[in-house]
Chains A and B, each alone.
Chain A
């Protein structure tokens, strides 16, 4: 009866005699720890305890037998189990004492909580990161405002005393503070994108791209760029966010083709493989060194000098963040002077 109950338990269960030897284990325990039943019976329970905790375990065991109530083991501690191959896993253990003819047996139910613990760790670190970013970005803005403010006041009220060189320095302080303000805003934006709820709806990416292209062209009417935009590219996406992706990619293409007479920018779709959709934005502009392709999507990384192509180095990081929120990924192909193509997929099957 007792053995049948043990077998029926959903968790791995082991029973330990007063001397700490295993007297009963169920099939779930065999599976969890990777032992055959016969290898376990008669062995000290410490065989299932990670090396680091093995020395102190008999003491804990004696403590439990002295006050044997049903309770979770090691409350407040991160418990772990040890498999036959010496690997360990995060565990939750609850204990109960069973009074038998052979004395008190301790039954332990062991659950592998690796996934849960990883999730809560991840959630906690995400949450910590977000509140950290929030605090930092606000705390940083105040001194920045003072830096920029006092420099502007110096420029306004002490321009004569400063002289030309001094004014130049003060202007640099103003410009740099403003740039830092943008970087901080970007940090806030990133933390917001990662928290935002997605409102998925059908979006025609071709139509949106055409509209953005028109808008960019209007800002600099003197530049001549040939846009080739595929029509009717249907996607299921958060409109506001996916438009940000297209804006960033098309803005970049516009910016990096600024040196070319025959600039052309193309938006279209590519074979999507396992994804629902794969789009690209291609230009024949300055391109980039493929050795640094991986750095393109990291925040604050710039592959070009700010004086050649201004920017905060945050647009592509934002693109990646948004695409990944949509279950897709981004990559880029290019060569120095040979233009660049940026791809993004949406709704990859493997990540669904």
Chain B
């Protein structure tokens, strides 16, 4: 299994706690880094340096749409615009089932869109399925380093 972290972008502390708990239950061993708004997520993804990474590239990003400061769609667009982050798989994990939100997410570069179920066991199942698919089954884009793009 990969040792790259999972980036969870989530402002609701309860959802954060439950998502972390769901990861624990599913035996996914990757470290989960939490960003509590879009700005924190961007600061993590684009650290102030001269273009190189001093943090490991996340294996997967779980992104809420409704976030303080910088919204989820904005985070997606910024990631799409930068070669260093364009190929990181992003799963939008949100409460909204609104067609516009789903379309906007895909248009902005999301790889998947999952609505958070209300029932925790369903939510835990969803998190486990996401982990299995994106971290084990899915073949990620080869990492050639930021300079070789």
Q: Do A and B bind each other?
A: yes
Chain A residues within 8 Å of B, Cβ to Cβ: 134, 138, 141-146, 148-153, 174, 177-178, 180-181, 188
B120 touches A153 (CB 8 A): yes
B66 close to A (CB within 8 Å): yes
Asked if B144 is an interface residue, CB under 8 A from chain A, the answer is no
Using C-beta atoms within 8 Å of the partner chain, give the interface range for chain B: 10 to 19
B95 touches A141 (CB 8 A): yes
Q: Are A177 and B14 in contact (CB under 8 A)?
A: no
Whether B123 pairs with A145 at a CB distance below 8 angstroms is yes
State whether A177 touches B12 (Cβ < 8 A).
no
Q: What residue in chain B is nearest A146 (Cβ atoms)?
A: B14
Question: Which of A143, A148, A180 makes the CB contact (< 8 A) with B120?
Answer: A148
Of A134, A142, A150, most buried by chain B (CB within 10 Å of CB) is: A142
The answer to whether A146 and B15 have CB atoms under 8 Å apart is yes
A interface footprint on B109-140 (CB within 8 Å = 1, 0 otherwise)? 00000001111110100000000000000000
| Given A138-B66, A152-B121, A181-B119: A146 and B95 interface contact (C-beta under 8 Å) | no
Nearest CB of A to B3, in Å = 28
**Contact of B55 with A by CB under 8 A:** no
Across chains A and B, which 10 residue pairs bring their CB atoms closest together, nearest first? Answer: A149-B120, A146-B14, A181-B118, A152-B120, A149-B18, A141-B95, A138-B95, A145-B118, A148-B120, A144-B118
* Closest chain B CB from A220 CB (angstroms): 24
Asked whether B119 lies within 8 Å of A178 as measured between CB atoms, the reply is: yes
Q: Are B119 and A142 in contact (CB under 8 A)?
A: no
B119: contacting residue among A153, A177, A188, CB under 8 A: A177
Closest Cβ neighbor of B64 among chain A residues = A142
Q: Measured between alpha carbons, how far is A81 from B102 in the docked complex, in Å?
A: 49
Tell me which residues across on chain A come within 8 A of B119, comparing CB atoms: 148, 152, 174, 177-178, 181
- Contact present for B96 and A177 (CB under 8 Å): no
